[in-house]
Every structure is written in C-alpha cells, then in structure tokens.
Amino acid sequence: MEIDYSNIKVIGFDADDTLWVNETYFRDTEVEFGKLLSQFETINKIDQELFKMELKNLPIYGYGIKGFVLSMVEMALELSNNTVSNTTIKAILDLGKDMINKPVELLDGVELVLKTLSEKYRLIVVTKGDLLDQERKLKQSGLLDYFHHIEVVSDKKEANYLNLLNHLNIDPTQFLMVGNSLKSDILPLINIKAKAIHVPFHTTWVHEQVSEQDLKGKAYNTVNELTNILQFFK
C-alpha cells in the first residue's frame, strides 16, 4: 500500500543508530564485561543475566550508558556473590567511561538528508537515553542547526509522543517519525495516527525487537539506508 506523505509538516528523527552509531558500543562492551567475569560464569550466561538485570533496572535508571554501567556493577556483585575485586569494579567503570567518550560516528547520508529535508520541513529529534550524554553527542555531531527542537524522553510510548506533539502544537497526522526501532520509533506513531519510516540498523537490542504479530496490519515504509527516505519527498 502506497503511503501518502503530502500532509507532513514536521519530521522527527531518532538519534542513536538512526543518526549515529550507538548499539555497537553496547554489544562490544558486553563482550568485554563477559571476559572480566569469566571466572564466575560462562560468557553466554553472563550475557543473559546482564540483559535481565538491565530490564529490571530500566524503571529505576532509564535508558543510557550510566544505567547500563550500574547494571553491570550489580551483575558483577551478584555473579561473584559479592567477592568481585575492586580492580574489576574499576574496570567496569572504565568500560562505561570509554563508551561515553566514544567519538560520534555519523551514519551514511545523515547530513545530506537533514540538509535536504530542513529546507521544506521542521525537523526535531526525539530520543531516549541519558540527557547529558545525548546533549554531548548532539553537540559533537555538528547537526544541531538542522533541528527546531530536541527532546530526550524517558520512554517512547504513545503517551510520550502525544505529550510531545501536544506541547509543540503538532497535529499527529502531520508528523512523521524516522528511526531504527520498530518498537519505539514506528508502532507508537502508527497507533496515534502519525506516519513512520523504519531505517533498520544492523544491530538491535533484544528489548527493542517486536513480533510479526505486532506488525500485522501496520502501514509504514522500510528503507535500507537513511538517504532512501528522500524518494518520498521529491
């Protein structure tokens, strides 16, 4: 089914893994974390238990690197029965600092897309994560001038989007969201009568994955890379 974007006035972009690389660093850090605790459990088990710990702590810490680091520390204490060394705890903290200090690596075509679309549409960023970290990445990205508004939200559910659009006086039917997560960037928008375009990233956190049943009957476009969204706005 062809989707009509002629009514769109505002386009929202997810940040992590839509504008720049993010999830890859989490996966790489999980590997290093597993090595640090390999004396206590198998790598696969450590990975599974860390994921459970992250989910348990989401309501407390929210999304982002700092919450991830706290979950790693808690997991280290639990797996070691509180015998993990101070040296290992420091190494875990250093892993987190390394993640925070990663340079911002823009994905292919980001600046071309933003420059092109900003000439006709209002562009905003809607992203989850730690406020300080997301502000840092946005500043380092060199993309700030393309956006009319930046919003770092605690979650990306229908209510979060509706509250934001209402605050910015944006009609949902005139809003398009572009992002890599079907769970966070696509389905909630369709459910509030907005539009959405999915741009998959090669790595997706398990928590952001959805089932085929969740997608049944949902109208949205998927493109292989960000620059391909320009075909809908000629």
Give the containing element (helix H, strand E) for 95: helix 86-100
Number of alpha carbons in the 13 Å side-chain half-sphere of residue 222: 9
Label residue 143 by pLDDT band (50, 70, 90). Answer: very high
- Nearest-angstrom CA–CA distance, 148 and 166: 15
**Which residue did the predictor score with more confidence, 215 or 132?**
132
Q: What is the CATH number of domain 23-100?
A: 1.10.150.240
Q: Mean pLDDT, to the nearest integer, of 33-50?
A: 94
State the pLDDT confidence band at 89, using cuts at 50, 70 and 90: very high
Q: H/E element holding 56?
A: helix 43-61
In the chain, where are the structural domains located?
10-20+105-233, 23-100
Global pTM value: 0.89
Report the pLDDT value the prediction gives residue 124, as an integer from 0 to 100: 97
pLDDT-based confidence at residue 205 (cuts at 50, 70, 90):
low
Q: Look at the domain 10-20+105-233 and name its fold.
A: Rossmann fold (3.40.50)
**Per-residue pLDDT at 48 exceeds 60:** yes
Residue 114, pLDDT above cutoff 80: yes
> Mean per-residue pLDDT for 133-151?
95
Average pLDDT over residues 149-164: 94
> Tell me, what's the pLDDT at 198?
95
Q: What percent of the chain has pLDDT over 90?
A: 85
CA–CA dist 137, 127 (Å, integer): 12
Q: How large is the average pLDDT for residues 188-214?
A: 79
Secondary structure (DSSP) of 165-181? HHHTT--GGGEEEEES-
More confident residue, 197 or 132: 197
Q: Report the pLDDT averaged over residues 93-100.
A: 96
